[in-house]
Amino acid sequence: MKLCLVAVCVVISSLALADEWPQWRGPSRDGVWRETGLVEKFTGPEIKARWRVPVANGYSGPTVADGRVYVTDRVVEPKEQERVHCFDWQTGKTVWTFAYDCVYKGIGYPDGPRAAVTVQDGRAYSLGAMGNFHCFEAATGKLLWQHDCNTEYGIRMPIWGISVAPLIEGDLVIVNVCGAEACLVAFDRKTGKEAWRALTDRGNYSPPIIVRQAGQRVLVLWTGDRVVGLNPQTGTAHWSVAFPSLRMPLGIANPVVSGDLLYLSGFYDGSLMLRLRPDRLVVDEVWRRRGQSEQNTDALHTIIATPIMQGDYIYGVDSYGELRCLEAKTGDRLWENLTAVPRDRWATIHFVQNGDRTWMFNERGELIIARLSPKGFEELSRAALIKPTLGQLPQRKGVCWSHPAYAYKHVFARNDEELVCASLEAPR
């Protein structure tokens, strides 16, 4: 009995100390994984799965918190529904599933929900592609409150649907609803009551982030018309920089911050670098670069993959899968690599930084351990994690466009058929 209690205590202690992935792009929403004791090189061409469970179609990446894994999907038979799933992280056993009727209207690439589930303080927040917003008791799936944002806010539906994961800020949960009279809405995260609404801009797909500026927390959002910094408690705008979409709103990647620099990149609109004034709530434009076309690009024209900034350099994937390094101060290209992902339109790599190494999950379902530096791309190891499927993109034998989660020294990835968990822990 004593040995069993010791084993249980060790498991609970390890779980408490391990890094989780409770929201889009990790604990701090910055694409950084702070776990230690990970493999330095894969032992074969494929990564062995700890478990696999079937799921249906969807773009949303999994999230992991309190020993559970959350992911959403869509089914069309016997009727159109979106579903929110919760699985035990160790076994993949279903803890709960919540399904609701959801007919897609006006959404291109209708493969399924886009936004990752956000988990905090025992609650899980899910936002569907048509604007169905739910708050659950995270452990049981009990529905606590909900909003039909399409009905309540008159969504001007982006062509690729509502895509932004809910953001927790203090007592609020903030949602990019793309409404005609409210692009952004904040709710009391416990009661679901509206706290504020802001902006009449065209909607976009880029998730908001929180930055520190002039001793304050500032909510940064890239809409279809501009980049704006707001008070996250009231929705009042502090500053705004025009960054209108020329052909259509197509900002998907997160804004990225390093020091006082704020960087954005989009498929058609190129790159914009801003400087956050440290003494007051003002921004300065550092540079703005856009190529002649989606194939003749300048600096970086990314689409799905959020770039990363390390020191004075930016690393990201250009419009046709070109892995590039830019000088942050100027946007000048230092190098380009075509081996990380096959070259094709919208080719994607999701970057996660772990110490001096970058974990790169490409659209072929491969996980790459690499070092990125101004000198070039150094591939340390590569192995297949999950197979591409055709639902997300019915071209080039399918893709894996969903961002994986990293938690408990494991990686969690999904396609249109399954959710996979695999260990990345170094051999003992």
Tens-place pLDDT, residues 375-428: 999 999 999 999 999 999 999 999 999 999 999 999 999 999 999 999 999 998
With H, G, I as helix, E, B as strand and everything else as coil, classify residue 9: helix
Which domain CATH number covers 99? 2.130.10.10
Tens-place pLDDT, residues 191-205: 999 999 999 999 999
Please state the rounded mean pLDDT for residues 89-114.
Answer: 97
Partners of 87 in beta bridges: 69, 94
Question: Distance (Å, rounded) from C-alpha 253 to C-alpha 227?
Answer: 13
Judge whether 13 lies within some domain: no
Closest residue by Cα to residue 44 from 281, 384, 298 = 384
Question: Distance (Å, rounded) from C-alpha 200 to C-alpha 312?
Answer: 35
Please state the rounded mean pLDDT for residues 358-377.
Answer: 98
Tens-place pLDDT, residues 162-201: 999 999 999 999 999 999 999 999 999 999 999 999 999 9
Tens-place pLDDT, residues 121-142: 999 999 999 999 999 999 999 9
Q: What percent of the chain has pLDDT over 70?
A: 96
411: DSSP letter: E
pLDDT of 387 reads 98
29 close to 167: Cβ distance less than 8 angstroms: yes
pLDDT of 3 reads 42
**What is the identity of the amino acid at 379?**
E
- The per-residue pLDDT of the chain, averaged, comes to 95
Judge whether 181 lies within some domain: yes
Number of domains within the chain? 1
pLDDT of 179 reads 96
Q: Is the pLDDT of residue 8 over 70?
A: no
Q: Is the pLDDT of residue 30 over 90?
A: yes
CA 195 to chain centroid = 25
Return the structure tokens found at 261.
Answer: 């620099």
Please state the rounded mean pLDDT for residues 233-261.
Answer: 95
Please state the rounded mean pLDDT for residues 44-63.
Answer: 98
Helix (H) or strand (E) holding 11: helix 2-17
Judge whether 8 lies within some domain: no
C-alpha dist (Å) from residue 57 to 61, 113, 400: 11, 8, 11
Q: State the residue range of the domain holding 258.
A: 19-423
pLDDT band at 246 (very low <50, low <70, confident <90, very high): confident
Judge whether 156 lies within some domain: yes
pLDDT of 4 reads 42
Plot region of 192 (φ>0 → left; ψ -120 to 50 → alpha; else → beta): left
Judge whether 4 lies within some domain: no
pTM score? 0.95
Q: Is the pLDDT of residue 75 over 60?
A: yes
Judge whether 145 lies within some domain: yes
Q: Is the pLDDT of residue 6 over 70?
A: no
130: DSSP letter: T
Please state the rounded mean pLDDT for residues 280-303.
Answer: 96
Judge whether 85 lies within some domain: yes
Judge whether 287 lies within some domain: yes
pLDDT of 139 reads 98
pLDDT of 1 reads 45
pLDDT of 393 reads 97
Please state the rounded mean pLDDT for residues 212-216.
Answer: 97
